[in-house]
Chains A and B, each alone.
Chain A
Amino acid sequence: EAGVAQSPRYKIIEKRQSVAFWCNPISGHATLYWYQQILGQGPKLLIQFQNNGVVDDSQLPKDRFSAERLKGVDSTLKIQPAKLEDSAVYLCASSFTSGRSHEQYFGPGTRLTVT
């Protein structure tokens, strides 16, 4: 079974530029998550989708971050404009359902460096 795919794996941009990340979840997984992981910290949930609807985006900085999941499969996360503090690894995860206590499977992440 293929895992969660993400691209690109690495991205370096200057502050105030824009960037987009792509995620393809495990086939059949209805729930998709985007996390931000700053070096030395645990993952922090940015947004959770159930199919193509948003379940939780309470921690998404909506003035600069946006995400969509068209057709309930692939998802993109965009940052515009980027700030230095956005430097982090952006992890995508998926689970079979959004119900309680379902394990989440993580992709390899995209390491973003903002200079």
Chain B
Amino acid sequence: QQPVQSPQAVILREGEDAVINCSSSKALYSVHWYRQKHGEAPVFLMILLKGGEQKGHEKISASFNEKKQQSSLYLTASQLSYSGTYFCGTEHLDGTSYGKLTFGQGTILTVHP
């Protein structure tokens, strides 16, 4: 079951903040976040594990709400380099998806000067 990301697209000015959500209908073990620029490979950002752990990397952080089976990616004081498509990849608790990621449809983030 593919996770659902929202919003589908967001446009920002430099310095503005954004939140991207990833929701699953199945129990989650972990959520992986990637950013992909046009014509390039997806680049790993961070992993969130079940337990409500929150992680951060400079001005990008994320949270994992186990009860809601949802993760959110927070981009603070956005920079032009943040532009790209953000994907969440979910890993589920059932035995068939050990180590296997199912990716959402992506959220297109555009940052303007």
Using a CB–CB cutoff of 8 Å, the interface residues on chain A facing chain B are 4, 31, 40-45, 48, 55-56, 91, 95, 98-109
The number of inter-chain residue pairs (CB within 8 angstroms) is: 58
Given contacts A103-B47, A104-B32, A104-B44, list 19 more A-B pairs with CB under 8 A.
A40-B105, A40-B106, A41-B106, A42-B104, A43-B42, A44-B103, A45-B102, A48-B99, A48-B100, A91-B42, A95-B99, A101-B32, A101-B47, A103-B32, A103-B44, A105-B44, A106-B43, A107-B41, A108-B40
Which among A100, A102, A105, A109 has the highest number of chain B CB atoms within 10 Å? A100
The A-contacting residues of B in range 43-83, CB under 8 angstroms, are 43-44, 47, 49
> Any chain A CB within 8 A of the CB of B110?
no
> Any chain A CB within 8 A of the CB of B30?
yes
Instruction: Tell me which of A4, A56, A100, A109 contacts B29 (CB under 8 A).
Output: A100
- The prevalent SS among residues of B at the interface is strand
The answer to whether B49 and A42 touch across the interface, beta carbons within 8 angstroms, is no
Closest to B44 in A: A103
Report B-chain residues with C-beta under 8 Å of the C-beta of A99.
98-99
Report A-chain residues with C-beta under 8 Å of the C-beta of B101.
45, 104
Report B-chain residues with C-beta under 8 Å of the C-beta of A40.
105-106
Report B-chain residues with C-beta under 8 Å of the C-beta of A108.
40-41
CA distance A91 to B87 in the complex (A): 15
Report A-chain residues with C-beta under 8 Å of the C-beta of B106.
40-42
Closest to B42 in A: A106
Closest to A56 in B: B100
The answer to whether A55 and B47 touch across the interface, beta carbons within 8 angstroms, is no
Which among B32, B99, B101 has the highest number of chain A CB atoms within 10 Å? B99
Report B-chain residues with C-beta under 8 Å of the C-beta of A31.
99
> Any chain A CB within 8 A of the CB of B6?
no
Instruction: Tell me which of B29, B103, B105 contacts A101 (CB under 8 A).
Output: B29
